[in-house]
Chains A and B, each alone.
Chain A
Amino acid sequence: MSDNQKPRGTDSGKAEAPLAQLKDLWRRSPETVRDYWREQLSSSRKLSEIRAEILTKLKIKLSSDGKLSTFRDWMIEQDLRDAETERQLEDHQQLEKQNPNWTLDQVREEVLTRSYMRSLAQGDFKLGLATSREHTRKQIVALEREKFEFDASKAALKIWPSIRQISSDKAMSESDKVLAVRQKLFGVIPK
C-alpha cells in the first residue's frame, strides 16, 4: 500500500469511507506490502499506534481502534479466501495429472465439488457456532426464569398473611385480587 494514492469516490459522488478506502488499497497492493501490514496487525503494537502509522503512510484516517479491528477481521477472511483459491489451483493441477483423459470442464467440476464441500464444512461450523450461541442464550433465559420464580416464591412466603387476607376478601373480584397480590409482591406495576 503506497502513500501516493488519489482519493477515491463512489458512483454517488460521495467520498469513500476510510475503511472502504483501506480495503480498496489492500486489494490493489502487492503481497510484500500486505505482508508488512499483516505483521503489524498481528504484533503486540497498540492499535492506536498502527492507526497513526496508517494515517502517516497511507493518508487514511480510521476514527477508532474498532475500525482497525474490523479491518483486521476482514483481512483474515480475505486471506482465507486467497488460501482457498490456491487450494483450488493445487486441486486443478493434481486432477489434471491424475486424470489426463479428463476434459477441462470435468476437472473444473471436480475442483468445484471439493471447494463446495469445504465451504459446506465451514458453513456447518459457522452454523454450529450460531446454534451453540442460541443454546447458551436459551439456557441463560431459563436460568433467569428459574431465579425469578424462586425469588417470587420467597417473596410470596414473606407476605403470605397478606395474600391470605386478599384471597378471602369477598368484596374483591378475582382480577382485583390478582392485581393486589402482584402489587404486594412486585410493588407498583408499570402500565
Chain B
Amino acid sequence: MTNRQIGIAKAILDVLHDWDGGQGHEITIHADASLKFRVMIPKNEFDEIFRELNSRGCFIGVPTEFKGTLWSLSDTGKKVRQEMA
C-alpha cells in the first residue's frame, strides 16, 4: 500500500472505530472517511481499499432487506487499525 492508500484505510477504520460498535452503509463510511481524509476520496480508490480491508476480515457485514449491507468493525479490524497507528 502507498502512504495515501494507508491514509485512506486508516480513515475508514477510524470512522468505524468512532462508531463504537455501531454499523452503517458503505456510502456513509465513504462520506465520513472523506471528511476525516479532508478531501472527497475518489470512488475507485475507496472501493479498492474497502475491498482490501474486507478481504483481511476487518469488517462485519450484515445484509439487510432494504438498506443493503451494513458494516461494523471486527476484532481483526481493531487490530489492523492499532497496527496502523
- What is A's interface to B at a CB cutoff of 8 Å? 10-12, 20, 23-24, 27-28, 74, 77-78, 81-82, 84-86, 88-89, 105, 108-109, 111-113, 115-116, 118-120, 123
For residue A45, give the distance in angstroms from its CB to the closest CB of chain B: 24
Flag the segment in B5-13, B48-56, B66-74 that touches A: B66-74
Count of B residues near A, CB < 8 Å? 24
Contact assessment for A23 and B75 in the assembled complex, using a CB-CB cutoff below 8 Å: no
Contact assessment for B27 and A111 in the assembled complex, using a CB-CB cutoff below 8 Å: yes
Contact assessment for A113 and B40 in the assembled complex, using a CB-CB cutoff below 8 Å: yes
For residue A18, give the distance in angstroms from its CB to the closest CB of chain B: 12
Residues of the B chain whose Cβ atoms lie less than 8 Å from the Cβ of A111: 27
Cβ of B82 < 8 Å from any Cβ of A? no
Instruction: Give the docked Cα–Cα distance between A112 and B75 (Å).
Output: 27
Residues of the A chain whose Cβ atoms lie less than 8 Å from the Cβ of B34: 116, 119
Contact assessment for A89 and B31 in the assembled complex, using a CB-CB cutoff below 8 Å: no
| Closest chain B residue to A117, Cβ basis | B31
For residue A26, give the distance in angstroms from its CB to the closest CB of chain B: 9
CB contact under 8 A between A85 and B24, given known A108-B43, A109-B43, A116-B35: yes
Contact assessment for A88 and B22 in the assembled complex, using a CB-CB cutoff below 8 Å: no
CB contact under 8 A between A85 and B31, given known A11-B75, A77-B22, A108-B43: no
Residues of the B chain whose Cβ atoms lie less than 8 Å from the Cβ of A78: 19, 22-23
Contact assessment for B28 and A85 in the assembled complex, using a CB-CB cutoff below 8 Å: yes
Cβ of B63 < 8 Å from any Cβ of A? no
Instruction: Give the docked Cα–Cα distance between A97 and B47 (Å).
Output: 25
Instruction: Give the docked Cα–Cα distance between A24 and B60 (Å).
Output: 11
Cβ of B83 < 8 Å from any Cβ of A? no
Residues of the A chain whose Cβ atoms lie less than 8 Å from the Cβ of B62: 27-28
Residues of the B chain whose Cβ atoms lie less than 8 Å from the Cβ of A28: 62
CB contact under 8 A between A108 and B27, given known A27-B62, A119-B35: yes
In-complex Cβ contact of B31 among A11, A12, A20, A119 (8 A): A119
Residues of the B chain whose Cβ atoms lie less than 8 Å from the Cβ of A86: 67
CB contact under 8 A between A123 and B35, given known A84-B24, A112-B30: yes
For residue B63, give the distance in angstroms from its CB to the closest CB of chain A: 13
Given contacts A74-B21, A85-B70, A108-B43, 4 further A-B contacts (CB under 8 A): A27-B23, A77-B22, A81-B23, A119-B32
For residue A103, give the distance in angstroms from its CB to the closest CB of chain B: 12
